[in-house]
Amino acid sequence: MIDWARILELENEMGKEEMPGLVVVFLDEIENAVGIIEKSQSADEGDLHFLKGCALTFGFSSLATLASDGEAKVKNNPCCSVDTERIIAAYKTERAELLSNCPLTC
């Protein structure tokens, strides 16, 4: 679920006119990272840290939680695997929510 308060906070920080471009850059960056995870069906601590940071920046609450939990799990045991399918599903759900409900991207 999207943290819409975070989206509004970001809009206030960056300016309303900058948000559409920021959304495009954000989605491009995170789409590349998710694509790598999806293709390899695995994620290391660095991948998860990157996703967590992106998700927190843009209010992707579910993705942030899953990435944070996965990062901690892998940090404590590098041989552990994380549920990449849940991470990818969370991203896709929150991406769809952002694009369908955010007036900044219309």
Partner residues linked to 60 by β-bridges: 2
Q: To the nearest 10°, the Cα dihedral for 98, 17, 34, 48?
A: -100
- With beta carbons less than 8 A apart as the criterion, state whether 102 and 94 touch: no
Average pLDDT, the chain: 90
Q: Indicate if the pLDDT at residue 106 is higher than 50.
A: no
For residue 31, the model assigns a pLDDT of 92
pLDDT one-digit tens code per residue, 54-88: 999 999 999 999 999 999 999 998 888 899 999 99
- What's the pLDDT score for residue 105? 46
What pLDDT does residue 80 have? 83
CA angle 94, 6, 46 (to 5 degrees): 65
Boundaries of every domain in the chain: 40-101
